[in-house]
Structure 1
Amino acid sequence: MSDQNNASVVGGKSFTAVAINCASKAGEWIKTKLGNYASLDIKYSSHDLVTEIDKGSERLIKNLVMTHFPHHSFLGEEGVEPGPEASAKALANIRDAEYLWIVDPIDGTTNFVHGFPFFCVSIALAYKGEVIVGVVYDPMKDELFVAEKGKGAYVHGKRMQASKDETLRGSLVATGLPADHHYALPLNLKGIQAIAPQVRNLRIAGSAALHLAYVAAGRLSGFWEIGLSSWDLAAGTLLVQESGGIVTDTMGKPYDLGVRNVVATNGHIQDELVAALAASNANE
């Protein structure tokens, strides 16, 4: 831990403070653009949209990060070609960097485009492949979720704790509808069909990062999805872990930056959710 603690500040500049500043500034700007984007493009599928606001948000964040830490590496969604292969390749090329900022400038672009108020800015910092800072900012609710490795996770300045639900039957669980219609979407739909009857209820709100933040805050007891990318997961994963929850891949193996098929829970229902997905062949 001492190595990580020493790594949390460079030249007197707090990584967490910079991440919070970037997320807040980007989020405030995004909110002013709600309903006012000029261009809309389809990237990988009709579920995978991008606007000039996504690109502008990423530029804003990258410029701020590089002003403070010019020698750090940066991985942002809008700097990568669409599709799962491109996402995996982009991460593989940079994941061994000493300091790597991993950014989704708007997680939930489809919601943003439709004026559905469930989207966020997600910013993580990995040190030698391990996430040490995670910030998720919801500009519509002005909710800032912040975690530092080994120091807990907070929202509204109050420490978060994952829910205490003991079983799937008593749990509110979330998932998503992946952009990859060939592999990930059919698999996730199979999981939905299997899991929905086993839980108290299921939510699909359209932002993986916010779903993870809600698991950390105890508002959801679990979340799973197939075919996500590092920028969807990195910040939210640390929020969950620092709130007492557990994050693995859908096979039950520990989270790392390369995980694309994810299960995140309060810890109590982790094994049950992983097993339920496996039983329905909806885990890989």
Structure 2
Amino acid sequence: MDVSPSENIIGGKSFTAVAVNCASKAGEWIKSKIGSITQLDTKYSMQDLVTEVDKGAERMIRNLIATHFPNHSFLGEEGVEPGPEASAKALEEMGDAEYLWIVDPVDGTTNYVHGFPFYSVSIALAYRGQVIVGVVYDPSRDELFVAERGKGAYVHGRKMSVSSEKTLSQSLIATGFPADPIVALPANLKNMQALAPKVRNLRVAGSAALHLAYVAAGRLSGFWEHNLSAWDIAAGALLVEEAGGRMSDMENGPYRLAVRNVAATNGWIHEELIQELQAAVNT
């Protein structure tokens, strides 16, 4: 359902303004901690990292949201046990929430740890299971990507539109290396091997939320990845949709919060990308 402007405010407090404030403050704090990490741990796999900065940023965002909307539910990456089963279960347990904030405090922790400037804060708000606000903030570039359902998507206050490439051969596509080394990583590698000769080029930069924001901004033609969680995708999905793009699962079914294998495009190349992804996995 579409959400009217009046429904996007409770008690005079704008959901979007709170999301932007949380992302900005957390992002500034995260950036200030670069180079001073004292605790680095692995979670689900050796590629799945967490630091005290991830945990601190999530606490900050949770507390700020609770100040404005104490009755809203909250789903953050660092409050959930590692692994795909745990993240899927945590989302399912929140299924009855009227308002659910979905947060990844540092999407791209490995980049952050290594000083590679491609990481982000991702904050989404879902109303009865549908995302109505999405904010992705890139502290390194001070770029704030914002979308409200039915109102478009913006970066630096300017309206975004997806790219105009009509075929895969013209397209710059992004993906990631999933943390699951048993199922998701081999599947994604098969997709990469199949697609690499058929696209203009591939990019793997390490933040799904930022990749989705780049699709919305027209900087990428598309993105896919296996085994992502709601906090990786929710905000970016709304950015893509509101910028005129298309989101789906890898079988071309509709995007919803529980989708873990995701494809996002400018719309023009969506069918072709889905066909290639399915063909690669089935070979």
TM bucket (normalised to shorter chain) is over 0.9
The verdict on how the C-alpha distance between 1:188 and 1:282 changes in structure 2, with shifts beyond 3 A counting, is farther
Residue 46 of structure 1: how far off its partner (Å)? 1.3
5 Å-filtered alignment, 1:176-255, equals 176-255=176-255
Residue 3 of structure 1: how far off its partner (Å)? 5.1
Q: TM-score, normalised to structure 2's length?
A: 0.98
Amino acid at match of 1:257: L
Aligned residues: 283
Distance 1:282 1:42 in 2: 32
Amino acid at match of 1:243: A
Q: 1:67 — aligned with what?
A: 67
Residue 248 of structure 1: how far off its partner (Å)? 0.1
Amino acid at match of 2:264: A
Work out whether residues 2 and 149 of structure 2, in 8 Å CA contact, stay in contact via their aligned partners in 1. no
Residue 35 of structure 1: how far off its partner (Å)? 1.2
Work out whether residues 135 and 236 of structure 2, in 8 Å CA contact, stay in contact via their aligned partners in 1. yes
3-state DSSP of counterpart to 1:281: helix
Distance 1:282 1:222 in 2: 21
* Stretches of structure 1 lacking an aligned partner (at least 5 in a row): none
Distance 2:280 2:232 in 1: 25
The verdict on how the C-alpha distance between 1:95 and 1:5 changes in structure 2, with shifts beyond 3 A counting, is farther
Distance 1:280 1:75 in 2: 33
Distance 2:114 2:2 in 1: 46
Work out whether residues 23 and 123 of structure 2, in 8 Å CA contact, stay in contact via their aligned partners in 1. yes
Work out whether residues 190 and 282 of structure 1, in 8 Å CA contact, stay in contact via their aligned partners in 2. no
Q: 1:53 — aligned with what?
A: 53
Q: 2:15 — aligned with what?
A: 15
3-state DSSP of counterpart to 1:135: strand
**C-alpha RMSD of the superposition:** 1.1
Work out whether residues 187 and 282 of structure 1, in 8 Å CA contact, stay in contact via their aligned partners in 2. no
Residue 95 of structure 1: how far off its partner (Å)? 2.6
5 Å-filtered alignment, 1:135-146, equals 135-146=135-146
The verdict on how the C-alpha distance between 1:150 and 1:45 changes in structure 2, with shifts beyond 3 A counting, is same
Structure 1 vs Structure 2: percent identity of aligned residues? 69
Q: 1:32 — aligned with what?
A: 32
- Deviations 1:230-260 (CA, angstroms, capped at 9, x unpaired): 0000000000000000000000001000000
Distance 2:158 2:3 in 1: 27
3-state DSSP of counterpart to 2:281: coil
Residue 90 of structure 1: how far off its partner (Å)? 0.2
Distance 1:265 1:199 in 2: 13
5 Å-filtered alignment, 1:63-142, equals 63-142=63-142
* Stretches of structure 2 lacking an aligned partner (at least 5 in a row): none
3-state DSSP of counterpart to 1:209: helix
The verdict on how the C-alpha distance between 1:3 and 1:110 changes in structure 2, with shifts beyond 3 A counting, is closer
Distance 1:95 1:130 in 2: 11
Amino acid at match of 1:224: W
Distance 2:179 2:32 in 1: 26
Distance 2:3 2:247 in 1: 23
The verdict on how the C-alpha distance between 1:14 and 1:133 changes in structure 2, with shifts beyond 3 A counting, is same
Q: TM-score, normalised to structure 1's length?
A: 0.98
Distance 1:189 1:4 in 2: 42
- Deviations 1:92-117 (CA, angstroms, capped at 9, x unpaired): 00033100000000000000000000
